[in-house]
Structure formats: structure tokens, C-alpha cells
Amino acid sequence: MNDQFPQGMPPSGEQPSHGLAIASLVLGILGGSVVAIILAVIAKKNGNTSGIATAGLVLGIIGTVGWFLLFACVGCVGCVAALEGL
Amino acid sequence: MQPFINIFGRDIPTYGLLLISGAVIGWFLFSFLVKRKNLINSNDAMFVYLIAISGAGIGSVTLRPIMNIIGVIFSWENYRGRSIIELFNYVTGEVVFLGGLLGGLIAVVLFCRYYKISIPIVFDLAAPAVAIGHSIGRIGCLLGGCCFGMEVSSTHPFAIVYPTVSLGAPAGVPLLAVPIIESVFLLILAIVLTGVYLKSHKQGLSATGYLIFYPIGRFILEFFRGDIIRGTYGWFTTSQYISMGLFVFGICYCLILQKRKLHV
């Protein structure tokens, strides 16, 4: 529940933390990252109920999962290979 | 053993797959515990878990670079003359659980303090979830071969041999199955902490149990690791120093809860 606006929406109709929600969506579209997840969570916790925040959250999760699936342990290989080269 | 698995024509690292699986199963346990005792709003629980995973993600990929940068600075003579790209490759890379744990801890504490969510309640919920997620992640380490035990005799009851394809473990050499041992240890810890959380009326038992027993187990197992390339400073490895720190943190946490009557 949004403590600032008990009925859920401010009188002007703008969602709280709208900027954070948009930033989350943009980062999510650009490839998704943990930052998109963090921004979306903060927006939602501040009372943002828009689909923008949800979309940013979903894209952030998908992107982060994709990052770990593609790059986890590739880093391990790189580290070991680099150490062998040094 | 099986560092990659082919899914729809693409080689996916099994370590990453099991890491994600661990996070998902950890979430199921976390939300189950939330619903059982209803000590925290379910939306807040979801937000906290996502923040924890995000913090863990950042921490897991930054701890190793930070330690490596410190190592380079303090032994610069060994690295003088290397190219920037060589140094960059050395410093970066590698996902580290303890870095993830620290990153997740910091992120959760900051988030909970800002939004006035009870940290002891969140820690108690998180402890079994972290343990079970980590247990599953360790299977990924086993399959990937990026974390492995010391060399043992081929007749050792806990010896495993990695075939030619692995990410770091020497091929054809009997190695102590440290990843499996740690996975089983964490699974037992997760079961015990779940039981403690469900049965106990005292706040802080579950979290304190994790913060004390996991570092002890990790500290001991580190002596049996064969991948010391990860970093040794003086007598102990980086992970052992972090384990000591976690243990001290666990003791301090227990004392703080008792002092504030919150309570263990």
C-alpha cells in the first residue's frame, strides 16, 4: 500500500517514482541487469503500480538470468587462463 | 564433468544453470516460510528477495576483482611490464559465492533499514533459503570443475576423477569431492534451519545458526581445496578470512539481538 496516497493514486494521476520505473524499463530493454531489478523494486515499493515498473522488473530478471547462463564460469575460464598466462 | 549442457543448439554453462535453479528453489522455500508464520508482508518479502538476489549478483562478480586488484597493488613488482589487457583479464572474472553473500547482506540491510522492514525477521527467513540455494549451486561447481578438492589416492572413498573436459580441475587425477561434501553439508544445514525457524518462537535462531555454522564448515573445507589459485594470503585463503569475519558477525549479531531483547 502506498502510505503517501492511501487510495493508491495521487490526485494528479502520476504514479510515484515514475522516473525510476522508466529507468528500470530502459535498462531492462537494453539488456536487462540487476540495476533494472533494483530500480523496479524501489519504484514498486514506493507505490508505483504501473505496468512500466513491472515490465522493467521482468526484463531485468530475464536479462540477469541470461547473463548468468551465458557468462557464469566463462569468467572462471578467463581467470584461470589469464593466470596461466601471467 | 559436465561444464556445459547443450540446450537448443547452444552450450549453456551448467554452473550458471544450477546457480539460477538454486535461486529459484531458495525463493520457493523463502515464500513457504513467509506464508507459514506471516511475520512479514508477502509483497515486502518478494521485494527483499529480489534486492538480495541483485545485491548477490553484484557482490559475486566484484569480490574477486577487488581482491585481485589489492593483490596486484601489493605485489606490483610481479606485474610490472604486463599489458593493460593482461592485467584486466587477471583482475576480472569469476563468480564467487562469498562475494554474493556479502553483496546480498549489504543490499538487504540497506533496503530494510530504508523501508523499515524488520531485519531479524528477514535474516531468519533468508538463512534456510540461502543454504539450500547454495547447496544446489555447489552441484554446479562439481559439474563445472571450477572448484575442486585436493589430490587424494584413487582408493579414497570420497575421490572423484574429472575427465578431460572441465573448467579448472586437472583431468584424470583423483580429487577429494569437496563440492559434494559442501553441498550435503549445506543441505543438512538448510533442513535444520528450516526446522528451527518453524518450531522456534525465538527470533534470530535461524540466522545465527547459519552465520555461525556455515563459516565453520567453510573454513574447515577450505583446507581440503585443491584450487588455491583463488587466493591465499599468509596462512589462510580469502574464503577463510571471510568465513572468520562472518563467524564474528554472527556472534555480534547474536549478542546485539540479546541486548535489544529481540532475541536469541
Under 8 Å CB-to-CB from B19, ≥6 apart: which residues? A68, A72, B95, B137, B140
Give pLDDT tens digits for A4-53: 444 444 555 678 888 999 999 999 998 868 899 999 999 999 998 889 99
* Bridge partners for B236 per DSSP: B233
Asked whether this complex has an ipTM greater than 0.90, the answer is no
- Is residue B239 over pLDDT 80? yes
Give Cα separations from B243 to B97, B98, B220, B221, B251 (angstroms). Answer: 12, 8, 10, 11, 12
In angstroms, the separation between the Cα of residue B258 and the nearest Cα of chain A is 31
Inter-residue contact B179 to B169 (CB < 8 Å): no
Give pLDDT tens digits for B46-77: 999 999 999 988 888 777 777 777 777 777 77
Least confident of A71-85, B227-241, B249-263: A71-85
Residue A76: closest C-alpha in chain B: B94
Q: Shortest CA distance to A46 belongs to which of B38, B39, B104, B47?
A: B47
CB within 8 Å: B86 and A65: no
What integer is the mean pLDDT of B117-130?
94
Residue A67: closest C-alpha in chain B: B16
Taking the CA of residue A35 as centre, how many other CA atoms within 13 Å lie in the half-sphere pointing to its CB?
8
Give dist(CA B35, CA B42) in Å, integer. 8
Q: Is A30 contained in some domain? A: yes
Q: Is A73 contained in some domain? A: yes
Average pLDDT, chain B: 85
- Is residue B179 over pLDDT 70? yes
In angstroms, the separation between the Cα of residue A45 and the nearest Cα of chain B is 8
The residue type at B247: F
When pLDDT is cut at 50, 70 and 90, the band that residue A78 belongs to is very low
C-alpha cell at B77: 613488482
Contacts of B17 in chain A (CB under 8 A): 69
Q: Is A35 contained in some domain? A: yes
Q: Is A74 contained in some domain? A: yes
Q: Is A36 contained in some domain? A: yes
3-state secondary structure of B57: helix
Q: Give the domain extent around A59.
A: 18-85
Q: Is A52 contained in some domain? A: yes
Spell out a b/e string for A33-67, using b for 16 or more CB atoms within 10 Å of the CB, else e.
bbbbbbbbbbbbbbbbebebbbbbbbbbbebbbeb
What integer is the mean pLDDT of B80-94?
64
Contacts of A57 in chain B (CB under 8 A): 50
Q: Is A2 contained in some domain? A: no
Q: Shortest CA distance to B58 belongs to which of B102, B17, B24, B11?
A: B102
Residue A75: closest C-alpha in chain B: B93
Which residues of A touch chain B, with CB atoms under 8 Å apart?
A: 34-35, 37-38, 41, 44-45, 57, 61, 64-65, 68-83, 85-86
Q: Is A71 contained in some domain? A: yes
> To probe the interface with A, which of B10, B21, B54, B58 has the most A CB atoms within 10 Å?
B54
Inter-residue contact B221 to B182 (CB < 8 Å): yes
Q: How many domains in chain A?
A: 1
Residue B56: closest C-alpha in chain A: A34
- The label of the residue with cell 565453520 reads B216
Q: How many CB pairs under 8 A join A and B?
A: 102
| pTM of the model as a whole | 0.82
At residue B25's C-alpha, the angle toward residues B118 and A72, to 5°, is 100
CB within 8 Å: B12 and A69: yes
